[in-house]
Homo-oligomer: A and B are copies of this chain.
Amino acid sequence: MADQSSQKPAAQWTHHEIRTAENSAAYLLPKIQSIKQVNPNLTILDVGAGSGTISITLARAIPDGHVTATDVKTDILLRAQAISEQECVKNIEFLEADVFKLPFADGTFDITHCHQVLCHLKDPWDALREMLRVTKPGGLVAAREGDVQTECVWPETPGLVKFHDFIAKFIPLSGGSAMAGRQLLGWALKAGAQRNKVTASFGTWSFCEEAEKKIWAQQMAKIIRAGRIRDTGLKSGFSTEDELEEMAKAWEEWEGTDDATLAMMHGEIIVQK
């Protein structure tokens, strides 16, 4: 299993696998540290874990605790399992599960977490309600979701402007939101959270240094040239073949530019149940 799944099976995964608890859940880590002081055996559920790099680094942060990482896709969980074995992280298990119907009793986990999951869902508040259900009274639900509309890129070449518009139109078409970050607090309230039990903040991801730019640009060029984003773009009439190629080339050119920067905001919430 490990051999097969340690091959990265989908183009989308490369830039996901540089995510860690440190670079993607920094808003939550101080809370985890505080809880750990009182309860070293705390349990975390990481919903929509994908290839699991955040879940695995969360598990490392709680050596006497336990992480359950779920995703709807089995193949990505095989990849996550393989990474956890490579990294020798033992206090973690992976389970196929639907975020809308989590296979856990009410009040099971100390912390329920997700990252870049709700932004892909049509009814994100229902997912948050389910995450609240499986969290212990007094426990935390934490979420961090991108806000694609805030993506800012330099130099602002025509191909990159086209890509920004393209992706902002693509996300809603597949049932998600290009303005998830700013709405995350509202979604939590709609899921039943009380306003005075929610802390809202914003963080960024940025790709400015050479290695980061390479990961981002090559990934973008790849998904523009093949796969679901390309197919949907063509079918929906958002872009022509020529425009897609212009976008892919624009990312390659951006990678080689000294003053290139890219950043995007993420909304963050911590809800106390």
Footprint of B on A, CB under 8 Å? 147, 149-150, 152-156, 179, 181-186, 189, 195, 199-204, 206, 208-209, 258-261, 263, 265, 267
Q: Would B204 and A204 count as touching, CB distance under 8 A?
A: yes
The CA-CA distance from A273 to B23 in the complex, in Å, is 28
Please state if A189 and B259 are interface contacts (CB–CB under 8 Å).
yes
A263 & B265 in contact (Cβ 8 Å cutoff): yes
Sampled A-B contacts (19; CB under 8 Å): A147-B152, A150-B265, A152-B179, A152-B181, A153-B182, A154-B179, A156-B179, A182-B263, A183-B261, A185-B259, A185-B260, A189-B258, A200-B208, A201-B206, A201-B208, A202-B206, A202-B208, A204-B265, A263-B267
Q: Which residues of B contact A153 (CB under 8 A)?
A: 182
Min CB–CB distance A240 → chain B (angstroms): 27
Question: With a CB–CB cut-off of 8 A, which chain B residues contact A149?
Answer: 152
Nearest B residue to A212 by beta-carbon distance? B200
Nearest Cβ on chain B to A29's Cβ, whole angstroms: 15
| Partner among B150, B185, B206 whose Cβ is within 8 Å of the Cβ of A200 | B206
Contacts of A263 in B (CB 8 A): 150, 181-182, 202, 265, 267
Known: A147-B152, A154-B186. 16 other contacts (CB 8 A): A150-B152, A150-B263, A150-B265, A152-B181, A152-B265, A153-B182, A154-B179, A154-B182, A154-B183, A156-B179, A184-B261, A185-B260, A186-B259, A199-B209, A202-B204, A204-B265
A207 CB to nearest chain B CB (Å): 10
Q: Are B181 and A208 in contact (CB under 8 A)?
A: no
Which residues of B have CB within 8 Å of A259?
183, 185-186, 189
Residue of B with least CB distance to A153: B182
Task: Report the minimal beta-carbon distance from A261 to chain B, rounded to whole angstroms.
Answer: 5
Q: Which of chain B's residues have a CB closer than 8 A to the CB of A209?
A: 199-200
Q: Which residues of B contact A260 (CB under 8 A)?
A: 185
Contact present for A185 and B261 (CB under 8 Å): yes
Interface centre among A186, A206, A259, A265 (most CB of B within 10 A): A259
A206 to B185, CA, bound (A): 13
Choose among B147, B152, B185, B203 the residue that contacts A208 (Cβ–Cβ < 8 A): B185
* Cα–Cα, bound, A249→B185 (Å): 22
